């Protein structure tokens, strides 16, 4: 059937009370965005490592030793869904309020869960006990994940951090990737340190703390600088890391797309639009990482700091943002991402507690789609499309090409892709862009391409694989 006839028939069908295919309606409304995605097969970009997927939790969560424990089967199952391997990063603002102790603590934990919604209220010392660490080991063994462990340097003492490090090292064994010394030291100015605080000051403290840790744990490995956003700390740390090869094993920094929550410019539109700062900063960070021959990991981040924005951080918009940002970082050469969360925070990928049960939030589904790229090699591609809120990626996995279109617009997208027969398709979608529930990732077998054209409904993402 010719296209015009089909559209006419679709319109008649609607007039008669029937249901026309959504893309036919979109086209009759002249609401179709066209695009072309071409690839340069000779240019392989990065391959996403087996542990690209990651989550970040507040260190204070360890104060409840039952949370990260082999007995928390429901949480383990959700971690498994996100990856057979992955990285759990422990740190965040509350890591400066933790107090390690070898004494057993009687009575209930100070709280069941702590997430971005409550982390700012944790101002008293929260205990981390041997039981917390032993249970954490059981949790990591059960998930198959490894851990980046943040020590309290902002408010804690160096000798206590070194003591904690010796137990963490012993108990976590091969599950420990590295220690981090302090959370967001670039934000300590006027908080835990004087107004004159710079990277140079942090470097001095880092060197002292590193010496203390290495004195207790000669085989200790480090990652850092775990900064909030100040790129000069990352470049400075990368340069200094060369002196500590092979102890420093990873470069890390955080990425929040927006913030603080509640600010006027924290909107869904902004989250869905390209972030020029990300592109700019990632280039500099990756240059530093390559110069120091270190992998770089975005080890804490999410859509909007200060707990997230209701109606944005917990909606389909956040799911579309997450899959796109995870691939954008990968294209840049990033070795892994840890989405921050926990508790019942607005931006957490997994919400809930042992007592209430755990639930997959919209971001979880975005992560699930990104997970399909683990082990895949991204291929250099060129996207021509009128709307910058449409993104696309090409990769090859097990010799099969895959193409992803992330449509963050209200229009249907018809994209020419360098694949003309797909065996598998994944669709990330939800009832509405601001839907807080009903977001899903559907997988289907069979060819869904129209020739070499991939149709992606408004506010959805579609991945096809040969």
Q: From residue 97 to residue 136, what is the string marking binding to ligand BDP with x (rule CB under 6 A)?
A: -------------------x--x-----------------
CA angle 286, 291, 297 (to 5 degrees): 40
The candidate with the shortest Cα–Cα distance to 82, out of 58, 56, 59, is: 56
Distance separating alpha carbons of residues 134 and 128, to the nearest angstrom? 11
Residue 48 DSSP symbol: P
Give the binding range for ligand BDP (CB under 6 A) out of 13-21, 121-129, 299-307, 410-418: 299-307
Euclidean distance between CA atoms 424 and 398, whole angstroms: 14
The nearest distance, CB 257 to ligand BDP, in angstroms, is: 12
169 vs 305 by CB, closer to ligand BDP: 305
Alpha carbon distance 28, 159 (integer Å): 70
Give the residue with the Cβ less far from ligand BDP, 54 or 116.
Answer: 116
Question: Residue 347 or 373: which CB sits closer to ligand BDP?
Answer: 347
Residues 328/320, Cβ–Cβ less than 8 Å: no
Whether the Cβ atoms of residue 124 and residue 154 lie closer than 8 Å to each other = no
Of 79 and 97, the one with the shorter C-beta distance to ligand BDP is 97
- To the nearest whole angstrom, how small is the minimum distance from the Cβ of residue 329 to ligand BDP? 18
Residue 210 gets which letter from DSSP? H
List alpha helices for 275-424, DSSP H. Answer: 276-291, 316-332, 362-371
Candidates 54, 93, 150, 185; binder of ligand BDP (CB under 6 A) is 93
Site map for ligand BDP, 438-457, x if CB under 6 A? --------------------
Quote the Cα angle for 105-56-213, to 5°: 60
> Could you give the CA distance from residue 251 to residue 235 in angstroms, rounded to a whole number?
9
Q: How many amino acids of this chain bind ligand BDP (CB under 6 A)?
A: 13
CB of 255 to ligand BDP, least distance (A): 11
Q: Which of residues 316-345 bind ligand BDP (CB under 6 A)?
A: 340
Interacting span for ligand BDP (CB under 6 A) from 3-11, 64-72, 129-137, 304-312: 304-312
Distance (Å, rounded) from C-alpha 119 to C-alpha 92?
8
| Residues in region 218-237 near ligand BDP by CB under 6 A | 228
Cα–Cα distance list, 265 to 259, 260, 262, 271, 365 (Å):
8, 9, 8, 10, 26
For ligand BDP, which residue of 96, 163, 164, 184 counts as binding (CB under 6 A)?
184
CB of 55: closest distance to ligand BDP in angstroms?
13
Element of type H or E holding 149: strand 146-151
How far is residue 127's CA from residue 48's CA, in Å, rounded to a whole number? 36
Radius of gyration of the chain (CA): 23
Binding mask 190-209 for ligand BDP (x = CB under 6 A): --------------------
CA 250 to chain centre: 17
Buried b (16+ CB within 10 A) or exposed e, 245-277: eebbbbbbbbbbbbbebeeeebbbeebbeebee
Task: Look at the alpha carbons of 359, 360, 363, 364 in this order and tell me if their dihedral is positive or negative.
Answer: positive
Contact letters for ligand BDP, residues 339-378 (x by CB under 6 A) = -x--------------------------------------
DSSP lists the bridge partners of residue 78 as none
**Among residues 12 and 263, whose Cβ is nearest to ligand BDP?**
263
CB of residue 95 to ligand BDP, shortest distance in Å: 8
Least distance from ligand BDP to the Cβ atom of residue 381, Å: 33
For ligand BDP, which residue has the nearest CB?
Answer: 92
The stretch near ligand BDP (CB under 6 A) out of 97-105, 149-157, 210-218, 303-311 is 303-311
- Closer of 83 and 116 to ligand BDP (Cβ): 116
Residues 352, 64: Cα–Cα separation, whole Å: 14
* Single residue of 38, 166, 306, 424 touching ligand BDP by CB under 6 A: 306
Query: Residue 83 CB, nearest distance to ligand BDP (Å)?
Result: 22
CA pair distance 22, 10, nearest whole angstrom:
10
CA 246/CA 283 separation, integer angstroms: 24
State the minimum distance, in angstroms, from the CB of residue 225 to ligand BDP: 13
Q: State the nearest-atom distance from the C-beta of 167 to ligand BDP, in Å.
A: 23
Nearer to ligand BDP, 336 or 341 (CB): 341
* Sites for ligand BDP among residues 44-73 (CB under 6 A): 58
Nearer to ligand BDP among residue 183 and residue 456 (C-beta): 183
Contacts with ligand BDP, residue ranges (CB under 6 A): 58, 92-93, 116, 119, 183-184, 228, 300, 305-307, 340
């Amino acid at each position: 059937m010719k296209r015009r006839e089909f559209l006419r028939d679709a319109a008649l069908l609607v007039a008669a009370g029937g249901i026309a295919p959504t893309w036919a309606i979109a086209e009759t409304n002249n609401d179709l965005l066209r695009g072309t995605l071409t690839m340069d097969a000779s240019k392989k970009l990065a391959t996403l490592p087996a542990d690209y997927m990651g989550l970040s939790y507040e260190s204070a969560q360890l104060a409840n030793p039952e949370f990260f424990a082999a007995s928390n089967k429901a949480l383990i199952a959700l971690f498994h869904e996100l990856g057979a391997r992955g990285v759990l990063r422990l740190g965040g603002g509350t890591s400066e309020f933790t107090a390690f102790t070898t004494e057993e603590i009687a009575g209930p934990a100070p709280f069941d869960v702590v997430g971005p919604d409550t982390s700012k209220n944790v101002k008293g010392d929260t205990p981390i006990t041997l039981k917390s660490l032993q249970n954490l080991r059981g949790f990591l063994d059960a998930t198959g994940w490894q851990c980046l462990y943040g020590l309290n340097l902002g408010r804690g003492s160096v000798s206590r951090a070194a003591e904690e490090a010796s137990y963490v090292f012993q108990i976590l064994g091969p599950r420990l990737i590295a220690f981090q010394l302090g959370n967001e030291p670039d934000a300590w100015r006027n908080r835990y340190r004087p107004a004159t605080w710079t990277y140079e000051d942090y470097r001095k403290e880092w060197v002292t703390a590193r010496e203390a840790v290495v004195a207790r744990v000669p085989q200790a490995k480090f990652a850092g600088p775990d900064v909030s956003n100040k790129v000069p700390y990352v470049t400075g740390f990368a340069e200094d890391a060369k002196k500590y090869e092979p102890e420093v094993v990873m470069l890390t920094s955080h990425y929040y797309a927006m913030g603080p929550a509640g600010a006027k410019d924290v909107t869904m539109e902004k989250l869905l639009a390209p972030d020029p700062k990300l592109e700019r900063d990632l280039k500099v960070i990756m240059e530093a990482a390559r110069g120091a021959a270190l992998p770089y990991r975005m080890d804490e981040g999410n859509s909007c700091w200060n707990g997230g924005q209701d109606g944005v951080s917990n909606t389909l918009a956040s799911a579309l943002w997450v899959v796109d940002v995870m691939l954008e970082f990968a294209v840049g050469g990033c070795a892994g991402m840890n989405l921050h969360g926990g508790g019942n925070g607005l931006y957490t990928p997994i919400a809930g507690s042992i007592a209430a049960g755990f639930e997959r939030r919209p971001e979880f589904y975005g992560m699930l789609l990104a997970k399909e790229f683990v082990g895949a090699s991204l291929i250099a591609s060129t996207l021509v499309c009128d709307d910058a809120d449409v993104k696309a990626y090409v990769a090859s996995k097990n010799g099969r090409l895959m193409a992803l279109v992330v449509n963050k617009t209200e229009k249907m997208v018809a994209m020419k892709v360098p694949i003309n027969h797909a065996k598998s398709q994944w669709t990330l979608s939800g009832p509405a862009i601001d839907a807080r529930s009903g977001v899903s990732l559907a997988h289907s077998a069979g060819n869904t391409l129209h020739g070499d054209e991939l149709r992606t409904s408004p506010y959805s993402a579609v991945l096809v694989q040969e």
